[in-house]
Copies of this chain bind each other. A is one copy, B any other.
Amino acid sequence: MRPVHHPAAADFDLASVLYALGDTVRLGIARRLAGGREMSCAVAAGDAERLPKSTLSFHFKVLRDAGLIRTRKSGVMVMSTLRRAELDARFPGLLASVLGTPATGTQRRRERKL
């Protein structure tokens, strides 16, 4: 397996992030990872697990390339986590509205400017 690349948060591109989330399979994966738990591909895929493995592998790559997830090999499995804090820092409010979960560990200032 080739070494995978994870973009730096500074290189996140909004259009790429939205594109990555603009697919029901990938959106489902992101939602499952939104709980914060690290999951294998098969588990994160959930009901989409019935898709061919090559297709899922492709979807995980799209998510990884856009910066949405970080993956690491653990034994025979590839474990994924949502890059929540980095995404929240770069695109405040985005994941909260898309995934329906509040930002993790975000220290809220006393007042937020609109």
Q: Which residues of A contact B (CB under 8 A)?
A: 14-24, 27, 91-94, 96-98, 102, 106, 108, 114
Instruction: Determine which of B92, B96, B98, B106 lies in contact with A18 in the assembled complex, contact meaning CB atoms within 8 Å.
Output: B98
Q: How many monomers of this chain does the complex have?
A: 2
Question: Is the beta-carbon distance between B23 and A21 smaller than 8 angstroms?
Answer: no
Smallest CB gap from A27: residue in B? B15
Interface of A is mostly: helix
Question: Is the beta-carbon distance between B18 and A21 smaller than 8 angstroms?
Answer: yes
Instruction: Determine which of B15, B20, B24, B97 lies in contact with A97 in the assembled complex, contact meaning CB atoms within 8 Å.
Output: B97
**Complex interface: chain B residues within 8 A of A24 (CB):** 15
A113 CB → nearest B CB, Å: 10
Smallest CB gap from A103: residue in B? B114
Smallest CB gap from A18: residue in B? B22
